[in-house]
Chains A and B, each alone.
Chain A
């Protein structure tokens, strides 16, 4: 979205703005049709039919206004979020229809949508469409000066172009014709010059009505927080269960076995020292295995390099142990908070595991940087692409876990192309620890 804006030169944006404005204005036509349909449907609510008709129309309208939001975001850089409150689960039957209709009608955003479709046809003519109109009027001037003026006057007609009266004798009057062309060029230039500005004005107008209000922003935030909190609680509960099971089946069982062996050794010590020696060797082996298992367990909870050195070196260490030997680029001036650091580490670890398992890649690149309060991690592989968020890749799970920290995950994976997984986690970096050496 913003990348398109960034790649565009100023010249490009001036050239394109009038036509973008025109496209936005054209959108107001289907919007007006929908608004008429909505008014008719609303008037039939009393008859009952309206209850069935209103929701699909409102939803279609939301879809259309999403196009506005999208285009305005792309062309003016004004990001407009969807303002709609989360609706109730749809229940079948008449009751469900009534509920859905009421929920949609009680959402203030629906009424703001309606206000938009009524007001926009007027507003867009004076903002978004204006540059395109100026350009077209300029082109008309060129045509008049070129041949159309001559044509019209020769049939006895006459028109005004700005202050120039195109009338009898116009074809022979080179001075006036040049003046017409120059005026036309001026109009075209004016259209292109004012294009981006007027589009920006239109963008602000869009934000005013299409964007969320403080209330809906809060409602959306509460919904997001509730969801991510549930996920966080579920994840940590599952994690605790796994640790408990690992301890129970692993180290704990081995310690019990060792205790029993030691008891047996105590008995055997005098009677059968040879057997006791054998048992001692086994017991030592058991203790080594128990240590090994505990070590693996701790590594899974909090990897030592992460604790010692932070995210950069921890991911480097991860890369060293990975069969694909990823190349790691780190640009972090400090350390994020421990929970964020840990979430980011395990996310990268899981993405790498995925890459090794599914992508068929030969090379992997990891890039980590922090700017503008955002930790950004990109993992790119040259595998066969075609990865999806679902389909057992575990990406959905990563998305959920970093969601707890308001992190987002983006996936680009065209079939046959590179797979790029991008993580963004808002966080501050603490200043680097002073080396003790």
Chain B
């Protein structure tokens, strides 16, 4: 799997390179600023990009802008955005085109290599990986609104884990219930959010999108 990496701190960049290489990824390019990131994304067309939000030269949201621009030109290009902070606003912008293949994680999630690599793989496969912190802040501010007000607390928990990009099996494990129960919950969620019966994977992305975008 080919990866383009953008991170301006040399230490962290090298750390990420060795982490990814040791997990069998091939580093197509490792860059340290916004313009060369955009160029690398368009030249290499990687299977997945791992991008730091804040990059030189402006040290603002340069990485995010480059990733969004690349996705405008290459729809569905999988991008995992890393940041010191997670902002709902940025999560929405990333998910806005509705084509999936988006991850948005806090930088310290890198500490847990297995989960981090899992997240990259999920994003590369067109799924989503939202940081639990984005999700919990969403929950804190959104549960009064329709249609999410109609979800039961358990269903919200399931949706939260779904938004993080977990599979039914992983959700079942996290909530200590059977996978059958999780399947029932997800079906209820899809029903309550009015998502038509279609490919389950796509509906999962749509549920998360509805969740973030309503």
Contacts and interface: CB of A to CB of B under 8 A. Distances in A.
Contacts of B68: 437
A295 B87 contact: no
Which of B62, B137, B141, B142 has most chain A Cβ within 10 Å? B141
A325 interface: yes
A320 B85 contact: no
Which of B62, B85, B144 has most chain A Cβ within 10 Å? B85
A322 B141 CA distance: 6
Contacts, number: 62
A305 B140 contact: no
Nearest to B35: A436
B202 interface: no
A201 interface: no
Interface string A304-345: 110111000100110011110100000000000000000000
A307 B145 CA distance: 30
A133 B160 CA distance: 78
B65 A305 contact: no
Given A320-B141, A321-B141, A299 B85 contact: yes
Given A436-B34, A436-B35, A321 B62 contact: no
Contacts of B92: 320
B66 A309 contact: no
Contacts of A437: 34, 38, 65-66, 68-69
A389 B61 CA distance: 37
Contact of A304 (B57, B85, B141, B144): B85
B176 interface: no
A320 B88 contact: yes
B108 interface: yes
A316 B89 contact: yes
Interface string A121-161: 00000000000000000000000000000000000000000
B58 A305 contact: no
A436 B84 contact: no
A161 to B, nearest CB: 75
Contact of B108 (A288, A322, A325): A288
A325 B87 contact: no
A316 B87 CA distance: 11
Interface in B30-70: 34-35, 38, 53-54, 57-58, 60-62, 65-66, 68-69
Nearest to B64: A308
Contacts of A309: 60-61
B86 to A, nearest CB: 9
A436 B66 contact: yes
A357 interface: no
A291 B108 contact: yes
A317 B144 contact: no
Contacts of B58: 433, 436
A127 B75 CA distance: 74
A295 B131 CA distance: 15
Contact of B88 (A284, A298, A321, A436): A321
A373 B118 CA distance: 52
A435 interface: yes
Contacts of B144: 323
Interface in A409-437: 433, 435-437
Interface string B113-142: 000000000000000000000000100111
B84 A313 contact: no
Which of A288, A313, A317, A436 has most chain B Cβ within 10 Å? A436
Contacts of A298: 84-85
A320 B140 CA distance: 10
Which of B57, B60, B83, B142 has most chain A Cβ within 10 Å? B60
B156 to A, nearest CB: 15
A312 B38 CA distance: 26
A307 B88 contact: no
A321 B137 contact: yes
26 contacts: A287-B111, A288-B111, A304-B83, A304-B84, A304-B85, A304-B87, A305-B87, A305-B89, A308-B53, A308-B60, A309-B60, A313-B89, A316-B89, A317-B89, A320-B88, A320-B92, A321-B88, A321-B140, A322-B141, A433-B58, A436-B35, A436-B57, A436-B62, A437-B65, A437-B68, A437-B69
Given A287-B111, A304-B87, A308-B60, 13 more contacts: A295-B85, A304-B85, A307-B60, A308-B54, A317-B87, A321-B88, A321-B137, A321-B141, A322-B141, A323-B144, A325-B142, A436-B34, A436-B57
User: 8 shortest A-B CB distances, which residue pairs?
Assistant: A437-B69, A308-B61, A317-B89, A308-B60, A320-B88, A437-B65, A304-B85, A291-B108
